[in-house]
């Protein structure tokens, strides 16, 4: 499974600023007057675009490899763990009720785990992944 949570961006210098798009996440598009502002806005829009995938319960496209010198924007690790969980739930064609059954809990609990805006401990996401046969591992580079 992919471990890189950094999505490459396309930067287009436009009159008065920069336009930012994400080749892997077409729903994410923003702009900024300066490069620094555009990169800051890119972080916000990437996380916001994830809402579309979570609301529709569909897999999030994985980041492609960045080209040399290309800027990337990383998801927060808490959101990335939830993306990995959502993608595995989709791959196994599971519903929240199925995951809840495997975890020995209620579907509402799983719905909160699969909510990007709900603060969820990483251990809880790891437990949900474990229940569906996957291990969440952390590392550093």
The one-digit pLDDT tens for each residue of the chain (141 residues) are: 556 899 999 999 988 899 999 999 999 999 999 999 999 999 999 999 999 999 999 999 999 999 998 999 999 999 999 999 999 999 999 999 999 999 999 999 999 999 999 999 999 999 999 999 999 998 776
Tell me: do 118 and 83 sit in the same domain. yes
Structural domain tally of the chain?
2
Tell me: do 18 and 64 sit in the same domain. yes
Tell me: do 69 and 107 sit in the same domain. no
**For the chain, what percentages of helix, strand and coil (3-state, to nearest 5) are there?**
45, 15, 40
**Cβ-based neighbour number of residue 46 at 10 Å:** 24
Tell me: do 18 and 68 sit in the same domain. yes
Tell me: do 13 and 70 sit in the same domain. yes
115 vs 71: CA distance, rounded Å: 28
CB 5 within 8 A of CB 22: no
Tell me: do 65 and 11 sit in the same domain. yes
Structural domain including 45 reads 6-74
CATH number for the domain harbouring residue 18: 3.30.160.250
Residue range 97-133, pLDDT digits in tens: 999 999 999 999 999 999 999 999 999 999 999 999 9
In a domain, 137, yes or no: no
Tell me: do 28 and 81 sit in the same domain. no
Which of these, 40, 63, 56, lies nearest to 116 by C-alpha position? Answer: 56
In a domain, 65, yes or no: yes
Tell me: do 65 and 105 sit in the same domain. no
Please report the pLDDT score of residue 2 as a whole number.
Answer: 55
- The half-sphere exposure of 133 on its side-chain side, counting CA atoms within 13 A, is 6
Tell me: do 86 and 126 sit in the same domain. yes
Indicate the helix (H) or strand (E) that contains 13.
strand 10-14
Please report the pLDDT score of residue 88 as a whole number.
Answer: 97
Q: Against a cut of 0.85, is the pTM above it? A: yes
């Amino acid at each position: 499974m992919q471990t890189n949570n950094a999505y490459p961006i396309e930067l287009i210098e436009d009159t008065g600023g920069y336009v930012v798009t994400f080749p892997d996440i077409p729903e994410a598009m923003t702009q900024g007057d300066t490069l620094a502002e555009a990169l800051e806005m890119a972080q916000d829009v990437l996380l916001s675009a994830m809402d579309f995938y979570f609301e529709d319960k569909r897999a999030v496209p994985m980041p492609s490899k960045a080209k040399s010198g290309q800027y990337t924007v990383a998801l927060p690790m808490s959101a990335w763990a939830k993306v990995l969980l959502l993608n595995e739930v989709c791959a196994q064609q599971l519903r929240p009720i199925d995951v809840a059954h495997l975890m020995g809990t209620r579907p509402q609990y799983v719905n909160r785990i699969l909510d990007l805006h709900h603060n969820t401990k990483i251990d809880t996401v790891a437990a949900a992944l474990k229940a569906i046969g996957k291990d969440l591992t952390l590392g550093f580079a």
